[in-house]
Amino acid sequence: MLRFKNLGSGSAGNATLVEAHCGHQVSRLLIDCGLSVRELGKRLAQAELGLEDIDAVFITHEHADHVGHAKSFALRTGAAVWMSRGTALACDLVNWGLSPMQFQVARDGQAIAVGALQLHPFTVPHDAREPLQLRCTDGDVHLGVLTDLGHGSSHVVKALQQCNALLLECNHDPELLANSSYPGFLKKRIAGPQGHLSNEESALLTRALVHPQLNLIVAAHLSERNNRPDLAQAELALAAGCTARDIEVADPELGTPWYQVH
């Protein structure tokens, strides 16, 4: 059994919990740690879990909304920390004071086992040193986790074939972004090929990933200023051939309920 729960999504801090059950074995992975340890503890408590229940954390890249509190979390819990070597260099991991063996190097195309959970990292186009996103599986069903990328490259499309569920970035509406008060350089960065997915770009990617067993799409990493849930839902629904109500949206603060992947 594979399930997941987003604990917060967007520029204020990202964290997603993925859990696999295999017989009596339960394995839990935290993807990104952009929430303070205190806040993370509170949100885990709402799911009747504690910090000590997390087996490992996977950091997708060095931007503060993803790695911001990972050091405190790792020092506090002793959990294994997975990230690419480029991300480790960019966030100065060597000076975090982790215990030996706690840091584990993740690489594009190399599978990782976290107990009953298997992770398949893949490279994405984003303006970070060596960003990786993930496909997670319990060996039976597959979850694609994909935020922070400028466009859906063919590598990304290949890595996420046959997913049963997707947590997918819908960062901005191009018109809202163009008319926002953001400075020009920032608008250009966000909309660029190494920035973030617009609703349209996310829909385009969805079209390439749709298959009969894809039955859950959760829109994530929505900009609070440059997007609206209804705009993201409408675009993704059109691409997936469902109604807007069928598209779930991760709340920036509250995240999502648990979703079982099937």
Residue 68 vs 214, nearer CB to Zn ion: 68
Secondary structure letter of residue 140 according to DSSP: S
Q: Which long-range contacts (CB under 8 A, 24 or more apart) does 117-120 make?
A: 117/2, 117/18, 117/19, 117/20, 117/27, 117/28, 117/29, 119/29, 119/58, 119/82, 120/159
Residue 93 vs 222, nearer CB to Zn ion: 222
Give the footprint of Zn ion on this chain (CB under 5 A).
Answer: 63, 65, 148
Find the shortest distance in angstroms from Cβ 212 to Zn ion.
Answer: 31
Find the shortest distance in angstroms from Cβ 127 to Zn ion.
Answer: 7
Q: What burial class does residue 92 get, using C-beta atoms within 10 Å of its C-beta: 0-12 exposed, 13-18 middle, 19+ buried?
A: exposed
Query: For residue 17, what is the enclosing H or E element?
Result: strand 15-22
Q: Which two tokens stand for residue 215?
A: 């039955």
Residue 33 vs 240, nearer CB to Zn ion: 33
Amino acid at position 135, single letter: R
As beta bridge partners, residue 76 has: none
Find the shortest distance in angstroms from Cβ 168 to Zn ion.
Answer: 13
Find the shortest distance in angstroms from Cβ 172 to Zn ion.
Answer: 12
Residue 192 vs 241, nearer CB to Zn ion: 192
Find the shortest distance in angstroms from Cβ 153 to Zn ion.
Answer: 16
Residue 17 vs 131, nearer CB to Zn ion: 131
Calculate the CA dihedral of residues 165, 118, 157, 173 and round it to 10 degrees.
50
Token pair 């002793």 in the structure block, residue? 78
Give the CA diameter of the chain: 53
Residue 189 vs 207, nearer CB to Zn ion: 189
Count of C-beta atoms within a 10 Å radius of residue 105: 12
Find the shortest distance in angstroms from Cβ 187 to Zn ion.
Answer: 16
